Amino acid sequence: MPVSTFAGIAVDQGLTTEDFMRLFSTAEKLRQCGPGYLDRWSDQRFAILRNMLATLDTSRRVSNRPVVDTDMVIAFNGKIYNYLELWRRLVPDAPPPVSEEPLILEGFRKYGDSIWPLLDGEFAIALYHPATGETRMVRDRAGVKPLYYANAKTRLCFASSAMAVLLQRTTPPQLNEERLLSDWLYGPWSPQRDSYFLGVSQVRPGHVVRWCAGCLSEKAYWTPPESQDELCSVEDLQEMLTAAIRQRVRGVSTPGVFWSGGLDSTIVAAVANEHSDNEMQPFTAVYEASPHGRNGAGYSEGAYPRLHLVQLAPSHFQRPSLEQVTAFLEEPVWDPVFITSFELYRAAATANTRIVLTGQGADELWGGYRLEQAWLHQVWEERSVTTLDALHALFCGRLDKPALDIWRCLDSDGLWERRPFFKLPENLKVQLLRRLADNILPSWSASARGISEEVWHFGTILQRNLAQEDRMGMAWSIESRAPFLSNAIIDAGFRYSATDKVDGHLEKLPLRRAARQWVSDEVLQMPKRSFPEPPKAWWSWVVPTAQENYSTLLEFSGMHHILCEQLSADDVRVLLQTNAKLAWRLTALSVFLKECNSILSAPVPSSVVGSLTALPPIPSISR
């Protein structure tokens, strides 16, 4: 089943030629998400441009999916796995439709916003009522599919990508400095609500946003359940896992699985191989210097004869690759491991795989991060003092960032004014590091917010991972599916308390018990480990590059509010030579800013405008 990306605009009064020009300017960005077919729809107050991706068959036109009915217009991206069951419930006497849109329209007519919790799948939806001018935007409860918007009171711009929203705005784009700082400091634990641009927000997972006559409201249609004493049995969890994976390989000729050899991906691979119509194709990335991959477990050819070992080399981590991945991610490639994931999707596309299953969501739901090194105090205690030095030196202690109380706290003793942080005595650095861990991170943590760590992980780490998976898959016309994020498994995961999930050196205990019928004892006893980054020698080019480009980076709009202008060339050299990861991040930031400038400053070619105005209209539902 094909998926789509879309961009749209809703206004109070009438759409102008300039509005259509801005909408048309998003076409190349939508097409960048993979080969597909454009179509459009508009009336006096609403216009939408849609790119249908042929994820299953790129040889034929697939833009004949009905999205226009007598009273509503819908743009849909994703997959609903229980749509046949829901259709029988809604219209028991009618044959089921070939796609999900008629189901959603019929369900909304009957249940209103109560239909959204019933949808089990991955989706982003824009729903428009021509009679009232009302627009709704909805995302699935896990946030697998992205949806961004910008509200300017008299006009609403929305799209599957933040950049496509920016291209429609009438005001000049501004960098969201706070999001950049927050991501740099807190990594994947940074809140993901806002985009990298001011005024461009995401529809939150499990929420519906309503816009009409300049008024915008947001409401949660689903909230995580609280932990309960009565938990599902091992057999129940096995049944949930089997059902979720079976649904996601149903009708797929050659499903792929990204397989690391760990617990989550091994469960998915084993069940998918058992229930798919054809033999499943696992893909795993290995570095040239380490032929056994992450841990050497489960990589024998006998396990899966069609196993694809994606061999990565230094050439994959040079600047052209960084620029290519940045263009698709629409964010800085903060970590070289992002490129590893990108190459996995490239390999899957080369093997003619159009649907790939991943293990996303298992760690966040089942306590996978509780024992890993990067959580709360450990995320800082395990990082070197040099890294913290670098952060301070680059961010130069600006106190006007409300979300970064870290600086205000560290400055309470007047330490800020003495000298650059990276030259402070070692014992003072350690003291500051401890204060950071004790006083700042808890304010971001689950305990201070009165929520479980799973809820916190669900809204931070998982959101970033899902966004990256979606964009990388779209880049290669691949649809990624996450069986651990079925409605039943999500609810089951939240009902377990922390003590039910972790014991000693092992996490995800309920999953381990349920996996015994599919997974070897070796994998069952294996603690969680993150996939390693590529050898530093492969991307050492970023150190001289970042040193050379530091002054240029300061010239970008807003960067003088973030980076320290007073650092001498010698200070920058020492800083980067002792911290290659920091050099990578600076280079990634520079590439991201250049990509933004090139896209936002490019005019819309007249040939593109001409071709878009001649696009076929979005087809209507035949009655």
Question: Are the C-beta atoms of 165 and 147 separated by less than 8 Å?
Answer: no
Question: Are the C-beta atoms of 108 and 72 separated by less than 8 Å?
Answer: yes
For residue 305, the model assigns a pLDDT of 67
DSSP state at residue 116 = G
| SS3 category, 477 | coil
**Other beta carbons less than 10 A from residue 505's beta carbon:** 8
For residue range 567-578, list pLDDT tens digits in order.
677 877 877 887
Question: Are the C-beta atoms of 197 and 175 separated by less than 8 Å?
Answer: yes
Average pLDDT along the chain, 623 residues, taken 10 residues at a time: 80 89 85 72 91 55 56 92 92 87 93 96 95 95 93 91 88 78 64 80 93 93 77 92 95 90 92 87 85 44 74 94 92 90 94 93 81 41 43 40 35 36 40 43 38 58 86 89 95 82 83 93 84 88 89 73 69 78 87 83 53 53 41
Q: What backbone phi and psi angles, to 5 degrees, belong to 425?
A: -60, 150
- Match 């003088």 to its residue by tokens: 560
Report the 3 state secondary structure along 233-272: CHHHHHHHHHHHHHHHHCCCCCCEEECCCCHHHHHHHHHH
**CATH code of the region 234-371+451-524:** 3.40.50.620
- Match 């492969």 to its residue by tokens: 538
**CATH code of the region 3-223:** 3.60.20.10
For residue 472, the model assigns a pLDDT of 92
| SS3 category, 532 | coil
C-alpha dist (Å) from residue 81 to 143, 285, 449: 16, 29, 34
For residue range 369-391, list pLDDT tens digits in order.
654 433 444 443 444 344 444 44
Residue extent(s) of CATH 3.60.20.10 domains in the chain:
3-223
For residue 531, the model assigns a pLDDT of 76
Residue extent(s) of CATH 3.40.50.620 domains in the chain:
234-371+451-524
Question: Are the C-beta atoms of 3 and 77 separated by less than 8 Å?
Answer: yes
